[in-house]
Structure 1
Amino acid sequence: MAQIDTALLRTFVHLADSCSFSRTAEAIGRSQSAVSTQIRKLEDTLNVELFARDRRNVRLTPEGEKLLGYAEQILRLSDAMFERFRQPEVSGEVRFGSPEDFATHYLPEILAAFADAHPDVFLHVTCDLTLRLIEQQQAGTLDLIIIKQHPDAPALGAQPLWREALVWVGGGFLEPGMAMRDAAARFPHGRDYLPLVASPPPCVYRSRAIEALDADGMEWTSVYASPSFAGTVAAVRAGLGVTVLPASLVPEGLLAFGEQDQWPALQDAEISMVARATDLPAVDALAAFIRDRMTYRKNR
């Protein structure tokens, strides 16, 4: 029976995420030719073509799309196995808090791997706005939190995990590449201002949007304020306005816009972790686990 080296799968997942041989080579500490060799070896082992390549683009083939889910699951289990046997066993409870979008898109995989590695740790997970998470931690009801913040105004004790590139997001009734002022005119009554959908303040995505619009001299009005990621997306799908989201979290069916489309540039947001001072090994274990997984994701 053929065997597949997990190093090949890790390189494959890096390349599938970055669509760049140079960035993949930098992330795994190998040369571009070594990356090409690993991908070719994986393709030969499976007898399929995983990537369609030309001079400018690298993209997954249908067979590559099928492999990606398997590869990510195998790597998660592999990492959990090594974590389980490398680290001393810990037990206890951890009260963990996270923003909804992070919890929905990143946490399931991370927490599943952590549970595999540390089955005697019991997690209590709370999803809320960043400000409320900070308040709960300061009140002593949360041990560890993930927050979204301005990189130039970090919360006390925050440990940066990675930066998020933000984009403008609009509904499908807009056209790809449409300029901002043309998009504004598509909303009811031919508006000369931009209708904005965002979480209530303080929200780093909201403030980044307002900063960019004010700097550009574009009039705007808040038409819908939702504390949840799902509520924000629903309002944009309904055509109420546009919002700002991380580029990696733009839902299917919505359009992303940037400087190349004549929309004002958005500053990054920062995802950070704040751990309450404690001597509980379970809290330290989860903090280290999240830090390692987010560093891996950032480098992908």
Structure 2
Amino acid sequence: MNRFPDIDTLSLRIFIALSETGNFTQAAERINRTQSAISQQIKKLEEDIGKILFDRSQRNIKLTSDGELFFGYAQKILEVRQELFSRFKEPEVQGEIKFGTPEDFATLYLPEVLSAFAASHPMVMLNVECDLTMHLIDKFNRGDYDLVVIKQLKVNEKNKGTTMWIEHLDWVSSARVNLDNKNKFLPLVLSPAPCVYRKRALEALDKAGIKWRIVYTSPSFAGTVAAVKAGLGITVLPRKMIPDSLSGIRKKNLPDLHETYITLLQKKSASPAVNSFAEYIISHLG
């Protein structure tokens, strides 16, 4: 007789969504369930595990130490499940996939996903290219890509796709950046135009009446982080992408930044290989 309770994959997906968003409302939007259903599912999961997985004492919900441990197991279970069904339902899927993605997204989110997909679909060739969102959209519309991950300022009816999650942006600095001199321009380290984060930053500063100057431009995530770490200026990054060497700025009278939307665009009449890859990305990252 099994003395352990059964845990369904929906509960695991809800747990991961809440872990990544830190908010019941956003987790509900991602999973397409009501907020009350999300709350009840998490409560049942904690009862089944016998541990408190989330610290609800703060405005943003955070994982407890037990929750952090459970997070790794939940990810592994969902990955193995996806690999199993992909391997046995579609063992003969083959072909070539042309995939476009922002560079920071490819660096931080995609390596494990691409590796796992390749392992379960050995007959599929993946061609991945990194670029800025606006360039990715242009190339996608020209037919250069089968699917792309893009960052949007809002859910765009013109670029219909699957919104995988919402990014919350923060001003990011290092201990070497001096922000106390009010007579100077605010030094900025940003990607070149067109860039969604750049647009968010400049619009917010202009609206707040804060003088700014772009002192360093880099198209790469690594280049941006290096420049901020060296003390050249501050930048804007998604909260979950802030490296340990930098920190979010919670004061200095800087304006709040609106969120961005991470969306997957897929061409119509796609091949079985492209459809499989799109489903794989959404199930692992959405």
> Alignment partner for residue 190 of structure 2, among 194, 198, 206?
198
Deviation, structure 1 residue 269: 2.2
In 2, Cα distance between equivalents of 1:2 and 1:212 = 55
Alignment partner, residue 35 of structure 1: 42
* CA distance 1:117–1:2, change in 2 (3 Å): farther
CA contact (8 A) 1:197 1:232 kept: yes
Partners of 2:79 and 2:284 within 8 A in 1: no
Task: Trace 1:110-259 onto structure 2 (pairs within 5 A).
Answer: 110-138=113-141, 140-151=143-154, 154=156, 157-161=159-163, 162-173=165-176, 184-185=179-180, 191-257=183-249
CA distance in 2, matches of 1:13, 1:272: 18
Query: TM (normalized to structure 2)?
Result: 0.80
Supply the AA of the counterpart residue of 2:231: G
Decide which moves more: 143-152 or 3-12: 3-12
Query: Is the contact made by 2:146 and 2:270 (CA closer than 8 Å) also made in structure 1?
Result: no
Distance 1:126 1:254, change over 3 A: same
Rate the CA distance shift 1:12–1:269 in 2: closer, same or farther, 3 A.
closer
Asked if the contact 1:21/1:35 (under 8 Å) is kept, the reply is no
Q: Deviations over 1:250-277 (max 9, x none)?
A: 222322236x763213233232333345
Partner Cα distance (2:56, 2:152) in 1: 37
Contact 2:46/2:52, CA 8 A, preserved across alignment = no
Q: How many residues align?
A: 278
1:292 to 1:34, Cα distance in 2 relative to 1, 3 A: closer
User: Could you report, residue by residue, the CA deviation over 1:87-122 in whole angstroms, capped at 9, with x for unpaired residues?
Assistant: 574211111111111112222243234334433211
Q: Which deviates further from its counterpart, 220-229 or 237-246?
A: 237-246
Q: 1:184 is paired with a residue of what secondary structure?
A: coil
Counterpart amino acid of 1:170?
S
> Which residue in the other structure is 1:96 paired with?
99
Q: Does 1:282 align with 2:273?
A: yes
Q: More deviation in 4-13 or 199-208?
A: 4-13
| Cα distance in 2 for residues equivalent to 1:63 and 1:71 | 12
3-state DSSP of counterpart to 1:97: strand
Work out whether 1:106 is the aligned partner of 2:109.
yes
CA contact (8 A) 1:6 1:75 kept: no
Query: TM-score with structure 1 length normalisation?
Result: 0.76
Change (3 A) 1:24 1:157: closer
The 1:55–1:220 alpha-carbon spacing in structure 2 relative to 1, beyond 3 Å, is closer
In the superposition, relative to structure 1, how do residues 75 and 89 fare at CA in structure 2: closer, same or farther (>3 Å)? same
- Contact in 2 for aligned 1:22/1:32 (Cα 8 Å): no
Gaps of 5+ in 1: 175-182
AA aligned opposite 2:6: D
The alignment-based identity, stated in percent, is 42
The residue number in structure 1 matching 2:254 is 263
